[in-house]
Amino acid sequence: MISFYNDYNELAHPQILEDLMKLQDQINVGYGNDQHVLNAIEYVKKHIGRNDVDVHFIHGGTITNVIGLKTMLQSYEGVISCDTGHIIGHENGAIEAVGHQIVQVPNVNGKLTVENIKKALEAHSKEYSVKLKVVYISNATEFGTVYKKHELEAIHNFCKENDLYIYMDGARMATAMSSDYNDMTLNDIAKYCDVFTIGGTKNGMLMGEALVITNPEFSKGIRRTIKQRGALLAKGYLLGIQFETMFKENLYFELSDTAIEMAKYLRDKLNEMGIRLAFEQESNLVFPILSEDLAHDLASDFMFEIMDKVAENSRITRFVTRYSTTKEDIDALARKIEDFSRKRS
């Protein structure tokens, strides 16, 4: 079975596993105070182009979002997110569970806009309303779309004018940065966001997210917060080694470059067969609209997600490419679609 289901359903890139095996007999101090973590922090800072950021490695995306957002909020403050934000439908109320309301606004192509942030503030302006303080965005979005620099800058400027902070969930930061639609660097992200994450779980690592704090206000007691939430790993060097491998040179973006190239190849194949996409392909998420019969036929040989119904017999589907996706995988999918079409013609 060929998988297009997600970008974290395999163990890890071989270089990660090789480096872990090389160091299996090495003794390291715990809780992220080892040399591998320290090296990885410096490598990440080098890629960002700033030495004044605070970097911490955490094992998973949900707990990273909880810690990052919790650190930015007072008990009576809440978060603005578009209705497709990852923290809305994919994290089982994790933010609400630590006491913070998320106010949802309509997405525009998967993105949050200044206009909708403004509407949320106006709707929650009373003293008895939750005080909205943090704007949550993800890059790439759940639709695979990528924020342009002018969009993020506009949100940043509005937030500065209205005493708001910006948190960017970068679980798929790698493919966002590798996208042909991207016109930002990590340095730009650091300039416009108070806190952001750089995801490794969805880009070839066993596990791991980098929490990057650019606003020093949120570094106060951060390691204690990480520990309190059960996320300060005793074997922190397991994360350090992986980020060290990814960022010592450029492996992190080499992998996402491949994922993007495969997404474009898949997009082109689908276009050739006259299959329409629900959203324009910008990152490594591709959303073809397929008949239900075709989708169920493909599911016998391929793993992918069947999503919303858009017509009586049509569904949006989601195909995800990754560093290990090959043209042969996509060609096999195309042949299966063509065989189905021939049988029905």
Query: What pLDDT shows up at residue 312?
Result: 83
Of 210, 215, 178, whose CA–CA distance to 194 is shortest? 215
CATH number at residue 180: 3.40.640.10
Residue 114 and residue 168 in one domain: yes
Residue 90 and residue 143 in one domain: yes
Q: What is the DSSP string of 28-55?
A: --STT-SHHHHHHHHHHHHHHT-SS-EE
Most distant CA pair in the chain, distance: 65
Tell me the residue range of the domain where 198 lies. 14-251
> At 60, is the secondary structure helix, strand, or coil?
coil
Tens digits of residue pLDDT in 169-207: 999 999 999 999 999 999 999 999 999 999 999 999 999
CATH number at residue 323: 3.90.1150.10
Residue 71 and residue 219 in one domain: yes
Residue 156 and residue 261 in one domain: no
- Is residue 342 packed enough to be buried (19+ CB in 10 Å), middle (13-18) or exposed (0-12)? exposed
Residue 36 and residue 79 in one domain: yes
Q: Which of 251, 276, 298 is the last residue of a domain?
A: 251
Residue 299 and residue 337 in one domain: yes
Residue 138 and residue 190 in one domain: yes
CA distances to 185, 201, 251 from 258, rounded to whole Å, are: 18, 16, 11
Token pair in block for residue 331: 């060609």
Burial 275-293 (b: 16+ CB within 10 A, else e): beebbebbbbbbbbbbbee
Residue 311 and residue 182 in one domain: no
Token pair in block for residue 54: 């605070």
Query: What pLDDT shows up at residue 319?
Result: 98
Query: What pLDDT shows up at residue 119?
Result: 97
Residue 285 and residue 144 in one domain: no
Cα first-last separation, the chain: 26
Angle in degrees, CA 47, 52, 199, rounded to 5: 45
Which one-letter DSSP state was computed for residue 179?
Answer: S
Tens digits of residue pLDDT in 219-276: 999 999 999 999 999 999 999 999 999 999 999 999 999 999 999 999 999 999 999 9
- The angle that helices 327-344 and 251-272 make with each other, rounded to 10 degrees, is 20
Mean pLDDT, contiguous 10-residue spans, the chain (345 residues): 96 98 96 97 98 98 98 97 95 94 97 98 94 98 98 98 98 98 98 98 98 98 97 98 98 98 98 96 98 96 94 94 98 96 81
Report the number of distinct structural domains present in the chain.
2
Residue 199 and residue 282 in one domain: no
Residue 160 and residue 219 in one domain: yes
Give the DSSP H/E element, type plus range, for residue 140.
none
Residue 215 and residue 261 in one domain: no
Give the count of alpha carbons within 13 A of 53, CB side only: 29
Give the DSSP H/E element, type plus range, for residue 27.
none
Q: Which of 251, 286, 316 is the last residue of a domain?
A: 251
Give the C-alpha separation, 297 to 304, whole Å: 12
What is this structure's pTM? Answer: 0.97
Q: Which of 233, 251, 269 is the last residue of a domain?
A: 251
- The distance from CA 230 to its chain's CA centroid, rounded to whole angstroms, is 22
Query: What pLDDT shows up at residue 27?
Result: 97
Asked if 158 and 118 touch (Cβ cutoff 8 Å), the reply is yes
Which position has the token pair 């966002």? 176
Amino acid at 124: H
Give the C-alpha separation, 204 to 6, whole Å: 12
